Amino acid sequence: MEQRNWKSLFKDELERISAPHEWDFILDNTLQKQLAWLVYIPCTFGRFHCSSCNRLWHSARVHLLFLMMLDKVRRCGTVKMRIFKQKCRRCTSADMEEPEISQENIRIVIGNLVNRIQSKIYLKNNWNQDRKPLVIDNFIEGPHNKEHCEACQANVCPISMLNMDRSIPGNSIGLYLILPAVFFIICFIIHFITNI
């Protein structure tokens, strides 16, 4: 995966929006989530090639991890990126393979990343401007397989995290997601009753 291509498109998008700060773009193949950094985990479409058996496969679940931070003292921002790999399903001792992502899907991912920077850092309301990746091939193999997904192994894959939530007895992550809505409804009812 050519870092220069990602950096160049990122720089072009920042110029397009007239970003008020300079931004660094760093590709890091060992990147993990870090405290104090804003996190963005998109999926895109990509193609993989097994270096052992030469098998090709397509995936709509090529996960990327972006960490973003603006240093207000230095007046510059940093984006760190990791592209997660996948293993071949046929080979028993397969290596993790890097995906091939089309130029157009790289543009879409970078555009959506810059939307996040605009909304989270520059407080511009533009969430509805995100674009979906282009699916190059309609033949995508089977369900998501966490044993072959590097993002699952790094606890970054949203599908893996949802499955983990369902499989752990007594896990209350789902409860934390629903409690604010229940609290809001109860407050609304109390407010409504007291104002009658």
Amino acid in position 93: S
Reading the block at residue 111, the tokens are 């555009």
Alpha-carbon torsion, ordered 121, 125, 127, 128, to 10 deg: -160
Provide the pLDDT for residue 157: 78
Provide the pLDDT for residue 140: 60
Q: What is the mean pLDDT for each group of 10 consecutive residues in the chain (196 residues)?
A: 82 93 95 94 93 90 95 94 93 90 94 94 80 72 77 80 44 48 66 64
Quick one: 69 exposed, middle or buried, by C-beta within 10 A (0-12, 13-18, 19+)? Answer: middle
What single DSSP character describes residue 127?
G
First to last CA, the chain: 64
As a three-state string, the secondary structure of 9-49 is: HHHHHHHHHCCCCEEEEEECCCCCCCCCCEEECCEEEEEEE
- pTM here? 0.77
